[in-house]
Amino acid sequence: MATRHQLYEYDYEKGTIKLKNRLCPRCGKVMAKHGDRWTCGSCQFTIFERGKS
Q: pLDDT digit string (tens) for 8-39?
A: 888 899 999 998 899 999 999 999 999 899 99
Q: Is 29 helix (H, G, I), strand (E, B) or coil?
A: coil
pTM for this structure?
A: 0.68
Give me the amino acid identity at 51. Answer: G
Question: In this predicted structure, what is the pLDDT of residue 52?
Answer: 64
**What is the C-alpha to C-alpha distance for residues 16 and 7, in angstroms, rounded to an integer?**
14
Q: Would you state the pLDDT for residue 1? A: 60
| pLDDT score of 53 more than 60 | no
- Of 3-7, 15-19, 49-53, which gets the smallest average pLDDT? 3-7
pLDDT of residue 2: 64
Give residue limits of the domains in the chain. Answer: 24-53
Question: Which among 50, 49, 53 has a CA at the least distance from the CA of 22?
Answer: 49
CA 48 distance to own-chain centroid: 14
d(CA 6, CA 25): 21
Distances (CA, A) of 51 to 35, 46, 48: 11, 16, 10
